[in-house]
């Protein structure tokens, strides 16, 4: 029995690795951090300076800069200088791979919700 469980686990691990292959490790490592996700949410609204992000996220300046460096190095944001300030803006390109990976799940749920809606429409009320 123990050997069978190990084999099943090994197979599920292979499937899991194959399934997430389309999304790079860099994307996952960026998105796993809640502070970086919060930064992306704010930058989605509008470009911001480091100081604005510090104020809105209630993080220290060094912590904010560290997260912004990770986001910049992975291509999620780009920066331009405006006099003495650095202004960060989101670059949605890295999210395209994640969006493509999520597409089959959207189709799966849409198909299932459509089937549920059809079932509810055709079911007679008591």
Smallest Cα–Cα separation from 57: which of 68, 109, 72, 124?
68
Q: Which of 16-20, 38-42, 116-120 has the highest mean pLDDT?
A: 38-42
Answer whether residue 109 is part of any domain: yes
Same-domain check for residues 109 and 120: yes
In this structure, the answer to whether residues 116 and 62 fall within a common structural domain is no
Looking at the structure, do residues 41 and 97 belong to the same domain, yes or no? no
Quick one: pLDDT at residue 48?
Answer: 97
66-95: b (≥16 Cβ within 10 Å) or e: ebbebbeebebbebeeeeeeebbebeeebb
Strand partners, 82: 85
DSSP label at 88?
Answer: E
Q: 22-26, 96-100, 114-118 — which is least confidently predicted?
A: 22-26
Task: Give the angle subtended at the CA of 110 by the CAs of 100 and 106, to the nearest 5°.
Answer: 20
45 and 104 in a single domain? The answer is no
Residue 104 lies in a domain: yes
Shared domain for 28 and 82, answered yes or no, is yes
Helix ranges (H only) for 1-126 are 2-19, 25-31, 34-45, 50-57, 61-73, 93-122
Residues 100 and 60 in one domain: no
What's the domain count of the chain? Answer: 2
Domain co-membership, 42 together with 84: yes
In a domain, 7, yes or no: no
What is the model's pLDDT at position 123? Answer: 84
**Average pLDDT taken over every residue of the chain:** 82
Whether 48 and 103 share a structural domain? no
CATH of the domain at 44: 1.10.10.10
Same domain membership, residue 80 and residue 30:
yes
- pTM value > 0.95: no
Domain containing residue 111:
93-126
């Amino acid at each position: 029995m123990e050997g069978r469980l190990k084999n099943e686990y090994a197979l599920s691990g292979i499937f899991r690795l194959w399934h997430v292959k389309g999304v790079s490790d860099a994307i996952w490592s960026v998105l796993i951090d809640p502070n970086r996700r919060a930064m992306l949410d704010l930058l989605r609204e509008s470009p911001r300076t480091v100081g604005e992000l510090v104020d809105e996220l209630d993080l220290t300046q060094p912590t904010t800069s560290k997260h912004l460096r990770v986001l910049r190095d992975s291509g999620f944001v780009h920066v331009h200088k405006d006099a003495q300030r650095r202004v960060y803006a989101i670059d949605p390109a890295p999210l395209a791979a994640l969006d493509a990976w999520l597409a089959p799940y959207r189709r799966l749920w849409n198909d299932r919700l459509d089937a549920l809606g059809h079932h509810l429409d055709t079911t007679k009320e008591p």
